[in-house]
Structure 1
Amino acid sequence: MINNPALPLALGILKANSANSCAGFSLLDLIRECQEAGIFDDLSHEPHEVILFKKNFLAMNALYQAQRILWQEGIGYLHISPLRNYLAPNSTASVSTQTVQSTQLPCNTRDSALADYYLDWQHYDNTNEQAVNTLLNQFWARCLSPHKITQCCELLALDPALATQRSAKRQFQRMAARCHPDRGGNPHDFIELREAYEYLAGALPA
């Protein structure tokens, strides 16, 4: 596996905050730390779109590598999302317990799919400007947009840093009951609310 210079930085941040399960940091926070550490200096010759992609890839790759390392060391489960990455101790981690061995990560279909993508260095090595522009139109890019997530959370009156799939569903059901067209609500408002919930259901941690 290729050595990712962002990994030691991510592990250092996570282990420093391991005693506080409420502590967390955003993907942008990690990217800024990497920037200040000079980790992205070698990317300066790349096109702008490729630089953005590779910065994001290195940060996400580091998080998913850290997720496996910390779980195998018995420290805890790293919840990964664009707005909040936090370490939950094994005794309190709210994840599925469908594991065969203690070193096997809990089953999370969406998280596993993203991990498979970001742990495959071919996506990093084979990226060019055209490939990045194509990816920007695909679903995964929407799921990694903190601005879009924030907008949808605001529509559902949720705190972006604390929102989960469960809280989004609960809030959508509560608000939809008031604005559903069958109950005299505005159809446009209901559709906008539903689209925001559907987006968050695919972008937020469980």
Structure 2
Amino acid sequence: MLFAKNSTTLPALSDSTSVADISVIKGDNPLIWPLLSLLQTSNKSWKVHHLASELQNKGLMQDLDEDQQKALFKRNFLLMNALFELQAMLLPQHWLQVKAMEIQIFRIIPRNLDSSLREDDALREYYLNWINYDTCPNIIQEMLESFWNRYEDYIGTNPNLMHKGQALAVFELDMNATDREVRRQWRKLALKWHPDRPDGNAAQFRKVCEAWQALREKY
């Protein structure tokens, strides 16, 4: 069962991959941003497989394994990972409910926010840990690179035109910026300018994505 209610029924970790190995993976899950578009522009509650179908229709997802059962699991892992990342990014202004069959952004934060978050602690911990994807780090990195390339084509970015200094200027950082500062500023600006946010701007969002693509290879 892919979406178990407690950690004891989730799939086992891969014996061939260590936590240290996974630490070399850089970059955000690019599915965060098209998911934000789908959720932000719709008032309905989504099911995870409907989100997957929409992303596939946009050319942003592909089969991830020859074995269809494994492909389904990996697709759902990527989606749930992106959703839990986005949930944290939207707080405290908005609440993203992350249930496999009920996924929706709410403007009103639950009164019992701590309790709502605790309900999903096991799932959140599981899906935010890349070691549970059950493959080696370089394969995960290649997969994310492939997704980023498709997403760049989808939104029309051109990361090859920007060097490190220009990219840091877009992020309002200097040459001494740390990896943590770059990542924090990337998420802040991408969320601010995402075109489906209330004050978003498509051109600024593309520019921030280009800067991130230039910088994430260097940090």
- Answer with 1 or 2: which has the greater Rg: 1
Which has the bigger relative contact order, CA under 8 A and spacing at least 6? 2
TM-score bracket for this pair, using the shorter chain length: 0.3 to 0.5
TM-score w.r.t. length of structure 1 = 0.47
